[in-house]
Amino acid sequence: MRVRSLELHRLAVPLVRPFETSFGRQTGRQVLMVRVRTDVGDGWGECVAGTDPVYSSEYVDGCEDVIRHYLGPAMLAADDVTAEGVAALFAFVIGHRMAKAAVETAVLDAQLRAVDTSFASYFGAERTEVDCGVSVGISPTIPALLDEVSLYVSQGYRRIKLKIKPGWDLEPVAAVRDLLGTDALLQVDANTAYTLLDLDHLRRLDEYNLLLIEQPFVEDDIRSHVSLAGAISTPVCLDESIVNTELALDAIDRGATSIINIKAGRMGGYLEALALHDACVEQGVPVWCGGMLETGVGRAANVALAALPGFTLPGDTSASDRYFAEDLTEPFVLHDGRLTVPTGPGSGVTVREELLGAWAQRPVEVLRAG
């Protein structure tokens, strides 16, 4: 394909309720959407970076800047662009995986729409529906937490994930385990909030029969995760640490993790996510699809990814109404704890142009081929 122009849409998307983790509290999302216009059609990608560099070193202003000054011009200058070639085209830029993923996804969307092929088909999905879990943020009180969890259980979610941090861990986990019963799927996500000094405290989570504990230590501290994994019976899962397939396999070989959370945006795009999925299947390591409060654009791709055979655990691919009163695309609706995998060309969803206008923080910025 030849990319004729690239559009940067900056949106302010409200959340239906605040979402709090150890990194902070969100009441809305600043979303960067990328649209590529090519000689064979258009495609959309969503940047998952947050407003501030607290979850990762990337943040939405930085992603917008690197696309504007580096990734966009490189792509617009290329005579032939394919999703499979985007990583090599952008290799001169170090890091900035979330920015790269947004552009790669937009290119893949345009490419597949042109040949009437869905993300699911291209990825190699084997299921038409995926089991859904839900991520529950840090609540102001235990009763408020239990009310929120009860709501999600009544809606049919098949797994509950609790955000935890020092001072908000054993008591809420015990209360939710008591509410759900002993066999319900329950896991916790620490978002790097602990240190190895907390090992004995984290070991106390073993009594709650958790599916896993996710990323208790900072992302570059693989050694501490090795120590924790050898000291507790709860499986350790890595999230923020997993930025590419090579690093993931090293962490698995060292015993730092026995389960992998795959987030395409964190890894630079869905093609690298596919490579990691295949490597984990070969290693016999279960994977699941993480979420970053995506709109329907990002959610559509995540649901297609989660339909691959190696995704044996429910992911964070929640329904649209978990986060948004209105979604940027047609809504994803939970049915018996599952979401339907889109089958239309590309992502299989349509961006609502009226919401692009209503949520716009500023006029669309357009980069054009020279």
Catalogue the active-site residues.
Answer: 163, 263
For Cα atoms 338, 161, 51, give the angle at the middle one, nearest 5 degrees. Answer: 100
| CA distance linking residue 289 with residue 211, whole number of Å | 15
Nearest CA to 71 out of 103, 39, 34, 98 is that of 103
Q: Which two tokens stand for residue 62?
A: 């930085």
Of 214, 222, 219, 230, the residue nearest 165 (C-alpha) = 214
The tokens describing 97, both together, are 């995986």
C-alpha closest to that of 67 among 40, 86, 85? 86
Q: Which residue has the tokens 């070989």?
A: 253
| Residue 38 bridge partners (DSSP) | 3, 41
Q: What is the DSSP string of 99-134?
A: HHHHHHHHHHHHHHHHTT-BHHHHHT---SEEEBEE
* Nearest of 137, 188, 142, 128 to residue 161 by alpha carbon: 188
Interatomic CA distance for residues 136 and 319, integer angstroms: 13
